[in-house]
Amino acid sequence: MSQLPTVGHLIGGKIITTGERAQDVFNPATGKAEKRVLLAPKATVEEAIANAQAAFPAWRNTPPLKRARVMGNLKVLLEKHADELCALITAEHGKVLSDALGELQRGIENVEYASYAPELLKGEHSKNVGPAIDSWSEFQALGVTAGITPFNFPAMVPLWMWPMAVACGNTFILKPSERDPSSTLRVAELALEAGLPPGVLNVVNGDKEAVDTLLTDPRVKAVSFVGSTPIAEYIYAEGCKHGKRVQALGGAKNHAVVMPDADVANAVSALMGAAYGSCGERCMAIPLVVAVGDATADAVIEGLKAEIAKMKVGPGTAPGMDMGPLVTKPHFEKVKGYVDQGVKEGATLVVDGRGLKVAGHEEGYYLGPCLFDNVKPGMVIYQEEIFGPVLGVVRVKTLQEAMDMIDAHEYGNGTCIFTRDGEAARYFTDNILVGMVGVNVPLPVPVAYHSFGGWKRSLFGDLHAYGPDAVRFYTKRKTITQRWPSAGVREGAVFSFPSTK
């Protein structure tokens, strides 16, 4: 076991591969441990914080344009190393390579947006707020900031956070998921290559000990988190208790409403990717379809069945695969348990993926696509976030019924409506209590120049992730009010000044 390659930390510009605690990193396509990842003790995290603190003064004084250019360079490097990064993602997360590339591409878009920093950091300047008094605001960096990220997007979610944080002049400690840490770390190395000074971005792998150090250390000024709702809630309460600003993104259970006037073929095609892409391990996945009218429901289910029948499931590295394995053995068991539970609760299992065997990969964590009909609020498979390839169809009579159901759900991350009707779309988008809404777009993940965030228990905090909100999250305003008394320089008394030169 000890011969496995070690995934370490990046602190002060150096890779650190020694440490007392470590755990295995598995390839979900094969079920084999292929690496070990260090778990940082408190002292190691504090060392990272100290490095970040030391790097801060020079970095915050670096002109924004220069900081932005490092992001421009990084973008070029990420494109150049895309194959390498996707291979790392797939080897540890399991998603198919094309999906890994999609993730990376979205991450690159955030790097691009961070490269707009000179524009984004403009303050507001007011002349004559009073007679001969001017006032302006600046967006100043916070100091050391931190991010804690989940396994499902090891490349993208970290890139939601630290590029904007450092483009704003902060330094950063990233604690990625310990299940698939390699691509995250590799991206950080490329950032150094792109010109980021040592200490500006630090990566520590770890578990709760590392997290709690970041939450309590007074040198850390802000924490961004993406993960499950219970942890998000803990992070928010704990970080705030220690006086920090915190944005904590949690779970989701996104409903797609299909209206009777929708283009069903188009909707089905969109739903397939949204439900089963990346095994449903996405906070913007669609695990629930709400069909308005039985005719709509029947048509949607027919369409889905036909499409599911064509799906190819196998190792993410194999050509032509639509879906790879789940991320870990325990997660596989958990998702499978949800399917069992749904059957017990009385939902109709239209397609059962539980028996899937992938030849030559019998130890991989593969679960075939599952489709339930007649899912109902109150069922566990309706209420909880499954994070697996399990799609449920709920039947309702009206749009209003669909909307009441969505609004009553604990989560409010994403949702979408399939319709051709302007009025239905406007009513839905205006009123639904969900932060990201699609109209005929199944995964309404905002582009990098807008911000990402759910409502209700899907996000704790007041500023969303990436985009314009991130600029405010990673800076604090300083407002200056200025008046100049006469020193006689202007009026001519200045001729007595020479002695001071």
Which residues form the catalytic set? 283
Instruction: Give one DSSP letter per residue of 301-355, joined into a string.
Output: HHHHHHHHHH--BS-TTSTT-SB---S-HHHHHHHHHHHHHHHHHT-EEEE--TT
Which listed residue (49, 444, 458, 470) binds its own copies by CB under 8 A? 444
Which listed residue (126, 337, 346, 354) binds its own copies by CB under 8 A? 126
116 contacts its own copies (rule: CB under 8 A): yes
Minimum distance from residue 209 beta carbon to its own copies (Å): 22
217 contacts its own copies (rule: CB under 8 A): no
**Residue 41 near residue 131, CB atoms below 8 Å:** no
For its own copies, the closer of residues 54 and 445 by Cβ is 445
x-or-dash string of contact with its own copies, 451-490, rule CB under 8 A: xxx-x-x--xxxxx---xx--xx--xxxxxxxxxxxxxxx
251 contacts its own copies (rule: CB under 8 A): no
**Residue 457 near residue 412, CB atoms below 8 Å:** yes
Which listed residue (6, 27, 115, 183) binds its own copies by CB under 8 A? 115
Single out the segment in contact with its own copies by CB under 8 A; choices: 304-312, 330-338, 383-391, 417-425. Answer: 417-425
Structural element, H or E, at residue 396? strand 390-396
Minimum distance from residue 143 beta carbon to its own copies (Å): 9
Cα–Cα distance measured from residue 112 to residue 324, given in angstroms and rounded to the nearest whole number:
29
Restricted to residues 361-400, the positions that interact with its own copies (CB under 8 A) are: 397-400
x-or-dash string of contact with its own copies, 393-412, rule CB under 8 A: ----xxxx------------
Cα–Cα distance measured from residue 93 to residue 108, given in angstroms and rounded to the nearest whole number:
19
Cα–Cα distance measured from residue 68 to residue 106, given in angstroms and rounded to the nearest whole number:
18
Phi first, then psi: give them for residue 334, nearest 5 degrees. Answer: -65, -45
For its own copies, the closer of residues 122 and 305 by Cβ is 122
Cα–Cα distance measured from residue 101 to residue 427, given in angstroms and rounded to the nearest whole number:
35
Nearest to 1 by CA among 34, 30, 27, 26: 34
310 contacts its own copies (rule: CB under 8 A): no
Restricted to residues 276-305, the positions that interact with its own copies (CB under 8 A) are: 292-293, 295
Name the burial class of residue 495, with classes exposed (0-12), middle (13-18) and buried (19+) by CB atoms within 10 angstroms of its CB.
exposed
Rg of the chain in Å (alpha carbons): 25
446 contacts its own copies (rule: CB under 8 A): yes
Cα–Cα distance measured from residue 95 to residue 281, given in angstroms and rounded to the nearest whole number:
9
Minimum distance from residue 319 beta carbon to its own copies (Å): 26
Other Cβ atoms within 10 Å of 250 Cβ, number: 26
Question: What distance lies between CA 17 and its chain's CA centroid?
Answer: 27
Restricted to residues 71-100, the positions that interact with its own copies (CB under 8 A) are: 72, 75-76
Question: CA–CA distance from 364 to each of 95, 319, 324, 410 (Å)?
Answer: 12, 17, 9, 33
For its own copies, the closer of residues 36 and 457 by Cβ is 457
230 contacts its own copies (rule: CB under 8 A): no
For its own copies, the closer of residues 20 and 430 by Cβ is 430
Which listed residue (54, 240, 311, 343) binds its own copies by CB under 8 A? 240
273 contacts its own copies (rule: CB under 8 A): no
Which listed residue (236, 338, 366, 411) binds its own copies by CB under 8 A? 236
228 contacts its own copies (rule: CB under 8 A): no
Cα–Cα distance measured from residue 376 to residue 392, given in angstroms and rounded to the nearest whole number:
9
Which listed residue (7, 424, 458, 466) binds its own copies by CB under 8 A? 424
58 contacts its own copies (rule: CB under 8 A): no
For its own copies, the closer of residues 18 and 400 by Cβ is 400
Which listed residue (21, 33, 80, 132) binds its own copies by CB under 8 A? 132
